[in-house]
Amino acid sequence: MTDGQWITRPDLEREVLHCGVDSAIGDELIDWILERRLPQDFIVTILRNNLSDALRQAKNWHGVHSLVQIEEFLYNWAPSGCWGSYERVNLWKKKTENNWDSNMSRVADDTP
């Protein structure tokens, strides 16, 4: 995604499937990006770029394999301000906008 480009829920749903991300995890990632709804702990650990904790929380090989798929999706489709460090995740959660549309997000580099 390029800075300032609009992204919609259908765009993200298509890319979640394309990257091979589990649909339940994909739904949580999309809700995080568009609605800033904090996902389950395993996903938050990935968003915060904490690999060692993510590996511990992955229950089986499928969970470990999903890390690659989730990372591919985040790298290519998630705004950089919503993942990559503890600070970014916290700032993304705190940021609010009066005109927020939960079906569409403007991709912007909200990095601290």
pTM: 0.79
Tokens found for residue 77: 């489709």
Instruction: Give me the number of domains the chain comprises.
Output: 1
Residue 29 in any domain: the answer is yes
Strands (E), the chain: 6-8, 104-106
- Rounded CA-CA distance 43/94 in Å is 18
Within a domain: 112:
no
Q: What is the pLDDT along the chain (112 residues), one digit of tens a residue?
A: 545 568 899 999 999 999 999 999 999 999 999 999 999 999 999 999 999 898 888 876 667 878 999 999 999 999 999 999 999 999 999 885 434 444 445 544 444 4
Domain that residue 47 falls in: 6-106
